[in-house]
Amino acid sequence: MIETDKKGCKGLLTQRMLLAVISSITFQFFIVCCLVLFRNLSLDYAHWFQETWTTVTSLRMWIFLVILAAMTFLQSVFCSKIYLHSPPYYKSRFTKLCATLTVQNLCLKASYIFMGGILVWLHLSLKGGMYNSLTADCSIIYGTCLVEEYYFLLFSGLWSGLYFSVKTNDSMKYFRFSIIAQSKFLRLRQGIYAMLPKLMVSSMWSTLYYMAVYYFLGSYCRGALLSVISVQTEVEPLDNMSRLLNLTLILQLWFHQFIFILTISSTYLLFEVYLTEWIPFKFGSSGAYSVDASELTLIDVLSMDKIPIMQHLGYLDLVTLAQKEKIRRGILFTLSQPGGHPYNWNCVVQKCIDILKKFSLDFNAITIKPQEQQFCYSTNVLTARITSAQPAQKEHIYHMRKLVPDITPMLSTEADTKEVPYSGMFIQKFIKQKREAFVAYLLSKPLINYIFGEQDDNKIRYVLLNGQLVIWAAEAISSLSVFSLSEDSYGVVQKDVPNIINTLLSVKQVLDKLQKSAVLARKIQADDKLTKEIFASLRSAIKRSLYRIVTNFESYINDLCLESLTIEQLQSFLNYRE
């Protein structure tokens, strides 16, 4: 993996995360100020603005801002571990449960609960009235009485943090990139407008669940609180149905739930807006002989598979220059000096084709049945031993095509295989078969299979969630191929057009096979909606890329040295029947 410190990757991501934190704190402060301004509404404008200014500049408000800044910064630290690393694959429900019980995830959920309580405390303190204190003077008897509505609303903040942490899966964050380039303010406004109806419904369900829980457990909470502080009660308990169905109390409870969910969702939205902002990367000045090795180049970013957000930014920049920037395309089509080789183009097309081929191989591995896997293992075991004993052969060495393949003598491989004792291999194979049989027997039990079993649907969803790179890779190389007809004066692209067409056709065949699978034939569920959207975008992008190439290279199809089967598959695109 490329060193992030050396290439400036860490500095770029740190800067964007810091700007997201500052913007989130500023946005939350703006929301609180608007609420204070609305609550102090009066016809006396001088008194209105004076009361608002006094409340905003009070010590309580600044304490809240300090706590909010600390909690937001802490959440950014936790989120950096989630956003800046590859999303994990949960093989079973048990592994997913273990992932939710990690120290990092538990600390993040605890921060939600704490922040929910702090947020409700601030709003109750700034509002004033009868719900701004836990105790008040009794009106009927002498002494201090408990204001049950105060801790009812205060506990609702803790409940909102718990509810949000349970409903959301923080370890599987999917970045939504803007289709049309927009400013950060427009993206924030559009994102808030889009999520407001969903947040209102979610806060409504959270309110109903909290009222139901308090109806059954409110007496225990009140008894525990009265045992700690020496106060009295002179009114009917709040867990009674007649008092619990107070419309004013319900609206205030829903408002606090909504404000908390809006606060957390806007924080994640700002992280997404800043981290997914397009940034242009430079090309290496002379390819492999580049002097400035500390500069972050496009080729370096495309190779950062361990840092998915950087790799996404690289492919976003690649598809942007491929479709909109003629000057940078000219740099991509030029030859490196010294040597006169298309270093930049070779690296770009190889990375894109590798992404497309990996996508096809992943889905082919999922669709192969277990019997077919065993058959493939028995027939290809000798080939696997030979290839493992040899050093890996690459199609490109030093980013140059290797025209003469290496042929390894069979005598050396036979000598290597004779060194392995037959008895040791037989024992290892026997133990492995018994272990696999025992595991298969355990997984045949419905309850064990439900907890520890692996489902193909999860694999398909996991691979599809990484489909954005496939879309951009297909769009980029197809657009570059088309523009090369008029802009590539060296002819460095035409040699790769047949390979590009074959790769895109293989991806199309995989997607056609996937369309008939069970994961897309079922009813749309909450977790399948995003999967189906990505799948539809994938199919459209692959077809659009093939149409783009076939339409512009229609006069040169016979000159591309394509196989007859490939030409037959392209006939549907030539006749516009796909």
Per-residue model confidence as pLDDT tens digits over 522-535: 544 445 677 888 88
Token pair 């370096």 is found at: 300
- Angstrom distance (rounded) from CA 173 to CA 164: 15
| Within-domain flag for 416 | no
561 within 8 A of 495, measured Cβ to Cβ = no
Q: Could you tell me if 447 and 530 lie in one domain?
A: yes
Q: Could you tell me if 234 and 351 lie in one domain?
A: no
Final residue before a domain boundary, out of 258, 275, 292:
275
The alpha helices in 276-380, defined as continuous H runs, are 298-302, 308-324, 326-333, 343-367, 370-379
Residue range(s) defining the domain that contains residue 545: 341-388+395-403+436-574
- Angstrom distance (rounded) from CA 367 to CA 382: 24
Beta strands 400-401 and 396-397, pairing class: antiparallel
Q: How far is CA 387 from the centre of its chain?
A: 36
Buried b / exposed e across 65-82, counting CB within 10 Å, b at 16+?
eebbbebbebbbebbbeb
- Angstrom distance (rounded) from CA 522 to CA 539: 19
The Cα-based distances of 221 to 132, 365, 368, 532 in angstroms read 19, 54, 56, 45
Looking at this protein, which amino acid is placed at residue 522?
R
pLDDT of residue 463: 85
Q: Could you tell me if 258 and 346 lie in one domain?
A: no
- Angstrom distance (rounded) from CA 127 to CA 114: 20
| Within-domain flag for 179 | yes
User: Which range scores top for mean pLDDT: 102-111, 501-510, 529-538?
Assistant: 501-510
Question: Does 421 score more than 70 pLDDT?
Answer: no
Beta strands 135-137 and 144-146, pairing class: antiparallel
Token pair 């649907």 is found at: 457
Question: Does 82 score more than 80 pLDDT?
Answer: no
- What are the pLDDT digits (tens) for 248-276? 889 999 999 999 999 888 988 998 899 89
Backbone phi, psi, residue 290, to 5° = -65, 135
Lowest mean pLDDT among 48-62, 227-241, 333-347, 415-429: 415-429
Q: Could you tell me if 223 and 353 lie in one domain?
A: no
Q: Is the pTM of this model over 0.75?
A: yes
| Within-domain flag for 298 | no
Lowest mean pLDDT among 62-76, 298-312, 443-457: 443-457
pLDDT of residue 233: 75
pLDDT of residue 413: 42
- Angstrom distance (rounded) from CA 478 to CA 32: 49
- Angstrom distance (rounded) from CA 314 to CA 332: 14
The arithmetic mean of pLDDT across residues 441-460, rounded, is: 79
Final residue before a domain boundary, out of 223, 242, 275:
275
Task: Give the residue, 391 or 495, on which the prediction is more confident.
Answer: 495
Using a 10 angstrom Cβ sphere, with 0-12 exposed, 13-18 middle and 19 or more buried, the burial of residue 48 is: middle
Q: Could you tell me if 155 and 13 lie in one domain?
A: yes
pLDDT band at 316 (very low <50, low <70, confident <90, very high): very high
| Within-domain flag for 422 | no
Backbone torsion region of residue 128, taken as left when φ is above 0, otherwise alpha when ψ lies between -120 and 50, otherwise beta: left
pLDDT of residue 103: 84
pLDDT band at 414 (very low <50, low <70, confident <90, very high): very low
The Cα-based distances of 14 to 19, 28, 83, 147 in angstroms read 9, 21, 12, 46
Q: How far is CA 172 from the centre of its chain?
A: 6
Segment holding 401, helix H or strand E: strand 400-401
Q: Could you tell me if 381 and 261 lie in one domain?
A: no
| Within-domain flag for 207 | yes
Token pair 């500049």 is found at: 57
pLDDT of residue 411: 41
| Within-domain flag for 309 | no
pLDDT band at 470 (very low <50, low <70, confident <90, very high): very high
Question: Does 319 score more than 90 pLDDT?
Answer: yes
Q: Could you tell me if 268 and 345 lie in one domain?
A: no
Q: Could you tell me if 354 and 261 lie in one domain?
A: no
SS3 183: coil
Question: Does 63 score more than 80 pLDDT?
Answer: yes
The arithmetic mean of pLDDT across residues 3-26, rounded, is: 78
The arithmetic mean of pLDDT across residues 163-192, rounded, is: 81
Q: In this structure, what token pair is assigned to residue 141?
A: 């008897």
Q: In this structure, what token pair is assigned to residue 409?
A: 């003598």
DSSP letters spanning 199-212: HHHHHHHHHHHHHH
Q: How many residues does the chain have?
A: 578
Cβ of 26: how many Cβ atoms within 10 Å? 11
Final residue before a domain boundary, out of 224, 249, 275:
275
Going by the DSSP 8-state scheme, the letter that residue 327 receives in this structure is H
CA dihedral angle for residue 444, residue 447, residue 450, residue 452, rounded to 10 degrees:
-70
Maximum pairwise Cα distance, the chain: 103
Q: Could you tell me if 68 and 181 lie in one domain?
A: yes
- Angstrom distance (rounded) from CA 342 to CA 57: 62
| Within-domain flag for 63 | yes
pLDDT band at 550 (very low <50, low <70, confident <90, very high): very high
| Within-domain flag for 126 | yes
- What are the pLDDT digits (tens) for 195-245? 999 999 999 999 999 999 999 988 888 888 888 877 777 677 887 888 888
Q: Could you tell me if 381 and 520 lie in one domain?
A: yes
SS3 38: helix
pLDDT of residue 287: 45
pLDDT of residue 307: 86
Q: How far is CA 368 from the centre of its chain?
A: 27
Domain count, the chain: 2
Mean pLDDT of the chain: 79
Beta strands 400-401 and 135-137, pairing class: unpaired
